[in-house]
Amino acid sequence: MRIGDYLAHGNRSFSFEFFPPKTPRGVESLFATVADLRELGPSFVSVTYGAGGSTRDLTIDLVGRIKREAGLEAMAHLTCVGHGRDDLAAILDRLAEAGVENIMALRGDPPRGETAFVRPADGFGYGAELIAFIRGRLGDRFSLGGACYPEGHIECPDKDRDLCHLQTKVAAGADFLVTQLFFDNAQYFDFVARARAAGITLPIVPGIMPVTDVAQIERFTTMCGATIPPRLRALLAACHDETAVVEAGIAYAAEQCRDLLERGAPGIHFYTLNKSRSTLAVMRDLDDLRVRESVGV
Ligand code: FAD
């Protein structure tokens, strides 16, 4: 299934994002999570691409395995970090051989310990360039997703300029967009309105992460520049143990998703952190709103 086409036909997508685990035990546990979440009939799942090292190959392996073994549509993420054109061409060939139809094409963050993104020799400096490369080389072989940032990308404080960069990404050939996590729906709707005013008509799927750990969410939001609204902060401050945090995270995310869907969002992309509990609970809360559209491969 090509995600761009699926969304373009007006279908709502419910999708789950995973990261490639570092250990065999982690892989086993990921497949247990995939099995749990499979019951919800996701439109697709996706596997992120690491900043370097062995998990990069694992992304390709996992996407192939999830398609074959779980029968779910699986999208591979791919970044520009550390890759020249020949590397990227070889990876694209491998993805095509594995039957992958969808790629989330990104610039990527600098590897751990480095502070700024460095354009690789003979490689690309922006997600838009990677998208243009894939389109130039393989035409429509893949449906391509791009990332977008309701609160602006952390390296580009000027939101209007960030939106111009997004226009370039769309013009390069993205088929759909998925947002960075956010906790304030007003940010999403304002961003969508600005994108539409700028002529961007692609589906913009909101990315939602149910909070499960306060320190972790502080770290993530600091890294990506998302805001924690005062109401969520107060809810979390009132939690006295981990279970209460997880429950508050589920309740908040369920409310957020319901509002997004009732006001026309084209689906929800869940940042699962390879765990099923919170995503399962939020999806069940949305049962009345969503059409179960399981797409086998
Ligand atoms: P770009 O769109 O290239 O933008 C990066 C910065 O450059 C922005 O500030 C933008 O405004 C600016 N810019 C763009 N074009 C130009 C231009 N022509 N001139 C000047 N400035 C420009 N990271 C991973 O490492 N692996 C993953 O699997 C992964 N998956 C993600 C999935 C989603 C849905 C999202 C939202 C993010 C994901 N990330 C992932 C994080 C992402 O790699 C970082 O946010 C990264 O910093 C930006 O990637 P991008 O493709 O959005 O960058």
Q: How many angstroms does the Cα of residue 226 sit away from the middle of ligand 1?
A: 14
The secondary structure of residue 52, as a DSSP letter, is S
Q: How many angstroms does the Cα of residue 242 sit away from the middle of ligand 1?
A: 32
What is the atom index within ligand 1 of the atom nearest the CA of 77?
28
Reported as a single tens digit per residue, the pLDDT across 102-115 is: 999 999 998 888 88
Contact (CB, 8 A) for 239 and 212: no
SS3 content of the chain, % helix, strand, coil (to 5): 45, 15, 40
Is residue 292 pLDDT above 50, yes or no? no
Lining ligand 1 with CB less than 6 A are 48-49, 51, 77, 79, 104, 106-109, 126-128, 147, 153, 155-156, 162, 165, 168-169, 178, 180, 207
Q: How many angstroms does the Cα of residue 31 sit away from the middle of ligand 1?
A: 28
Q: How many angstroms does the Cα of residue 9 sit away from the middle of ligand 1?
A: 27
Q: How many angstroms does the Cα of residue 125 sit away from the middle of ligand 1?
A: 10
Q: Which of 170, 171, 120, 110 is nearest to 146 (CA)?
A: 170
What is the structure's pLDDT at 297?
Answer: 42
Pairing between β-strand 13-18 and β-strand 44-47 as defined by DSSP bridges: parallel
Q: Which of 33, 38, 91, 15 is nearest to 60 (CA)?
A: 91
Which residue's CA is the closest to the ligand 1 atom numbered 30? Answer: 48
What is the atom index within ligand 1 of the atom nearest the CA of 47?
28
Q: Which of 153, 166, 176, 182 to mutate to test the pocket of ligand 1 (most atoms within 8 A of CB)?
A: 153
Which residue's CA is the closest to the ligand 1 atom numbered 40? Answer: 108
Which residue's CA is the closest to the ligand 1 atom numbered 33? Answer: 147
What is the structure's pLDDT at 219?
Answer: 96
Residue with tokens 């994108």: 195
Is residue 162 pLDDT above 50, yes or no? yes
In the three-class reduction of DSSP (H, G, I as helix; E, B as strand; rest coil), residue 76 is classed as: strand
Cα–Cα distance, 266 to 260 (Å, whole number): 9
Is residue 53 pLDDT above 90, yes or no? no
Residues labelled catalytic: 17
Neighbours of 237 (CB within 10 A): 10
Backbone angles phi, psi at 9, to 5 degrees: -85, 10
- The per-residue DSSP string of 172-229 comes to HT--EEEEEE-S-HHHHHHHHHHHHHTT--S-EEEEE-----HHHHHHHHHHHT----
Which residue's CA is the closest to the ligand 1 atom numbered 47? Answer: 109
Which residue's CA is the closest to the ligand 1 atom numbered 52? Answer: 147
pTM: 0.97
Spacing of C-alpha 104 from chain mean position: 8
**Which residues share a beta bridge with 177?**
146, 204
Counting beta carbons within 10 angstroms of the beta carbon of residue 219, is it exposed (0 to 12), middle (13 to 18) or buried (19 or more)? exposed
What is the atom index within ligand 1 of the atom nearest the CA of 145?
34
What is the structure's pLDDT at 294?
Answer: 43
278-296 mean pLDDT = 79
What is the atom index within ligand 1 of the atom nearest the CA of 49?
28
What is the structure's pLDDT at 291?
Answer: 59
Q: How many angstroms does the Cα of residue 115 sit away from the middle of ligand 1?
A: 14
Which residue's CA is the closest to the ligand 1 atom numbered 42? Answer: 108
81-87 mean pLDDT = 96
% of the chain beyond a pLDDT of 70: 98
CA angle 70, 96, 129 (to 5 degrees): 115
